[in-house]
A and B are shown apart, each in its own frame.
Chain A
Amino acid sequence: MKAVLLFLLLMVPALAAPVADTFSNPATETRARALQRQLRCLVCQGESIDESGSPFAADVRHLVRQQIADGASDQQIQDFLVARYGDFILMKPPLQPDTWLLWLAPFLVLAAGGGVAWLTVKKAAARGA
């Protein structure tokens, strides 16, 4: 009996009324759209779930909206999806030890280039003097 009760309790979110395609509150809708743009459609090429017309994207959109309706924060929703699908679902790669180089490389190149440029200009100026 307890088990059945527990089962029913766990089923509640699934039994909740289906979430509408759009939230009536514009602020919530904007938030949902922004979040959807941060999530990659795993079965498409280069599209977010916000843009894609695939069934997968529709499912994840539904999931996101369900969780927003349940009061979850953006972070919680992202964590939930990462736990389910891995980091690949995030359009913005997480900042962690194995992605430091990814995030820093452009600026390292910029700094190195700036250093080389500075030396070059100094040398060129000395040559003219």
Chain B
Amino acid sequence: MTALLEAIDLTVSFGDRAGWFRPGQQVQAVRAVSLALQPGEVLAVVGESGSGKTTLARALLGMVPIAGGTVRFDGCDTAAMTAAQTLAMRRVVQMVFQDPFGSLDPRLPVGAIIAEPLDIHRIGTKASRRERVAELLDLVGLSPDAAGRYPHQFSGGQRQRIAFARALAPGPRAIIADEPLSALDVSIQSQMLNLAAALRARLGLAYLIISHDLAAVHHVADRVATMYLGRIVEVASVDALFSTPAHPYTAALLAAVPRIGTGKRVPGDALGGDIPSPLAPPPGCAFHPRCPAATSLCATEAPALRALRAGHDVACHHPLGAA
């Protein structure tokens, strides 16, 4: 099966040129990442802030320049695509952003916002677009008269539904959602998750969900990739990753999820320290300064992502549960 969207050895770096009084700096926000989104699957990318999740999402959409590697859409290298092919890709791969207060143009009424992709891709007539907007508003649980109002007249959850309706408008095959829930209340989060799940079943959508909310990821994802400092350190099915995490970082993330019922926190599980500066990543395995299982090997040699079991890849010299 051809992957819908695939990153191969993808590297994205941000930098500034050297000035008169300071050297130029390069940050590799995404380092040699290979990841594939299959049609119809829900793939979650988890990691701390600064791990490069958002940059990965934007690079997959071609919204940031790629420093190395390739992105393939339906098997075609996106760098080699014509303008028309790129436009066609933008129609079927849609994005939902983290901040529903920033991702909707405050000057446009909601109807125009949702119809914008239809407008851009010249789908339908004016009348059919209006119908489609009403249909989409209904689909995400908003009343049809919302079309005439402005984004600021809606709550955060309602706005995220509007953003979702916009993403659905051109009939996409995949939705890339960048922390779609983090700006929302918990009750609205679950509504959104149920909505996303229902639409997936109905429309056969693939989702790439960027998140740091492991509970939500557990609920919706098929596969999970863990990112640390621009690299993918573990990829597995959601069950395998949650029951037998192989990378110490994944294990630490899972241990940090608050649980109801035990009444007390297990001490010593929380990860110490902060994520290192991507300007000066540690040598060897980028995680070794914070890793409880680090050895001298980890400080010198970066582990490659390799298959631990079928469908379970990990980049660690000393994977958990393997020794």
A and B: partners? no
Interface residues of A (CB under 8 A from B): none
